Amino acid sequence: MATLEAPPSPQIRLRDTPFTNEPFTDFTKEKNAQGMRAAIQKVQGQLGREYDLIIGGKRIKTRDKINSVNPARPSQVVGIHQKAGPEHVEPAMQAALAAFKTWSQTSVEERAGILFRVGDLLRERKWEFCAWLIFEVSKNWAEAEGDIAETIDFCEFYGREALRLSKAETPVQLPGERDTLMYVPLGVGAVIPPWNFPAAIMAGMTLASIVSGNTVVLKPSSDSPTIAAKFVELLEEAGLPGGVVNFCPGSGSTFGNAIVAHPKTRFIAFTGSREVGLGINRQAAEQARGQVWIKRSILEMGGKDAIIVDADANLEDAVEGVAQSAFGFQGQKCSACSRAIVDERIYDKFLEKLKTRVEKIKVGDPAENANMGAVINEGSMKTILEYIEHGKKEGRLITGGSRAKEAGEGYFVQPTVIADIQPKSKLEQEEIFGPVLAVIKSKNYDHALEIANDTEFGLTGAVYTSSREKIDRAKREFHVGNLYINRKCTGAMVGAHPFGGFNMSGTDSKSGGPDYLYLFTQAKSVGEKIG
């Protein structure tokens, strides 16, 4: 295999403006809608292409393949990918170790410049990247754009954060010394992202790793490898040297476990299920032969998120916030509202309004910009439908409750609301990761907080109330990493809402916040005698 030479780094001017979030597009304007349709048509013509592994800048083909399909049209192949196996672990590690020797010594200005260049390229091709998300994971236009906008935000934010950390100073300068504090890279990291934010989370963990001077073995989800392949192409175009990011789609149980267990793996950045995250945590805690460090685990593992609707809430706002949080991207967000805890005094009125609102949600092919697309795969659909059948026995079906066959051949599930669910029950405790909302009646605000906190997770939550006292109590007592007041519990914005959760929701990594890059570096204190 011929080694691909990294393209020359373009001249990039470092940002001299404060960070601002990437603005969203108004698709109700026909000009924007036409642009999105044109991007969808362009990407449709590229579906079914084959993508190689990229290890040390070399393109590699394998006998085994991963076929990525469109969940809304499972007969439509989005991309064909080589499948990394155990035999690729050592080559990927050696390529990353070799690249680390030079990349770790590259100036922070050059590393940040790569991120800024990637952000610029993404802006130029934003709708095209949105279209890949529409086809590969069935996001509607707005959800897809939110994913790509967040990816751009990570490029801009982490580039600026790396420059800020490079100028860190010790709180005290001793007389007769020059005291400095440096944040140095860790080494080779395994980046294992999920399929539900296959651009933003995949790119965010990768960008944080490389801007800090680390190198990466990237194992994307087998449900969404194509968007990761397109992102790696952008990295190459922006001038990233070969071996800094090694693209290795493969099975979690073979390639993924092996790279986590490798003695030269310095850190693991993972987002996904609780079960897999805990397995990574256990594996990382074992010292392998030749391992000279404690592996760092950066884990985000989902949630069972609740919105409390108090008796004094603005009911219209609460209904809208719950509906958006529960059914945005088919409920397939770790931040999604899967429990609405509603005061008994407004319970019936809330359910009546929620039923009306949810039944307005259009389920269909997101290429045509339906409100809700398909769930990610057939296995997920079957699991969700099993939860719904169980929920019908535990509670009272308000709306939905079955597969949305009228939407087409894909894995479509109706947005489902089940009321009268009891605390501690299966539907109230277990993460479903689909368009299913359990509604629980609370006696009062104390009872609502008790129910909300009575779960092993602690990622996001929201409270709708007009009471300042209750808002302040929620800040103190609602035990989640991301709390929202009188707004939906999804849609964390980079810089404004550093994201990560408590308990079994993970290590509270706070992506998109001022502490995040600390997780990808280690602090080195230097005291130099002078004079």
340-378 pLDDT, tens digit each: 999 999 999 999 999 999 999 999 999 999 999 999 999
The residue behind tokens 């919105």 is 307
Residue 291 has pLDDT above 50, yes or no: yes
| Both structure tokens of 264 | 């030269």
| Both structure tokens of 19 | 């960070």
Which backbone phi and psi does 210 adopt, to 5 degrees?
Answer: -80, -30
Taking only the tens place, the pLDDT of each residue in 429-464 is 999 999 999 999 999 999 999 999 999 999 999 999
Q: Which of 12-26, 197-211, 302-316, 433-447 has the lowest mean pLDDT?
A: 12-26
pTM for the whole thing? 0.96
| 8 Å CB contact between 382 and 432 | no
Residue 531 has pLDDT above 90, yes or no: no
Every domain range in the chain assigned CATH 3.40.605.10: 30-301+510-525
Residue 217 has pLDDT above 50, yes or no: yes
Alpha helices in 415-455 (DSSP H): 426-429, 445-453
| 8 Å CB contact between 228 and 200 | no
pLDDT class of 12 with cuts at 50, 70, 90: low
Dist CA 483 CA 513 (whole Å):
15
The pLDDT, as a whole number, for residue 3 is 39
Residue 18 burial class via C-beta count within 10 angstroms: exposed 0-12, middle 13-18, buried 19 and up: exposed
Residue 7 has pLDDT above 70, yes or no: no
Residue 245 has pLDDT above 80, yes or no: yes
Every domain range in the chain assigned CATH 3.40.309.10: 305-493
The pLDDT, as a whole number, for residue 13 is 65
Residue 9 has pLDDT above 60, yes or no: no
| Both structure tokens of 284 | 């990382």
**305-493: CATH number:** 3.40.309.10
Catalytic residue among 334, 337, 428, 489: 334
Taking only the tens place, the pLDDT of each residue in 127-161 is 999 999 999 999 999 999 999 999 999 999 999 99
Catalytic residue among 300, 337, 431, 489: 300
To the query of whether residue 233 is one of the catalytic residues in this protein, the response is no
Q: Cβ contacts of residue 320 below 8 Å, gap of 6+?
A: 357, 488
Dist CA 188 CA 209 (whole Å):
9
Dist CA 303 CA 301 (whole Å):
7
Dist CA 385 CA 387 (whole Å):
5
Residue 196 burial class via C-beta count within 10 angstroms: exposed 0-12, middle 13-18, buried 19 and up: buried
The residue count for the chain? 531
The pLDDT, as a whole number, for residue 105 is 98
2 versus 378: the higher-pLDDT residue is 378
* 395, HSE (Cβ side, Cα atoms, 13 Å): 26
pLDDT class of 312 with cuts at 50, 70, 90: very high
Conformation bin of residue 52: beta by default, left when phi > 0, alpha when psi is -120 to 50: beta
The pLDDT, as a whole number, for residue 14 is 82
Average pLDDT, whole number, for the chain? 96
To the query of whether residue 300 is one of the catalytic residues in this protein, the response is yes
Residue 2 has pLDDT above 60, yes or no: no
CATH class of residue range 30-301+510-525? alpha beta
Residue 5 has pLDDT above 50, yes or no: no
Give CA angle at 124 (120, 125), nearest 5°: 115
Dist CA 445 CA 464 (whole Å):
11
The pLDDT, as a whole number, for residue 6 is 43
* 502, HSE (Cβ side, Cα atoms, 13 Å): 14
Residue 506 DSSP code: B
Residue 232 has pLDDT above 60, yes or no: yes
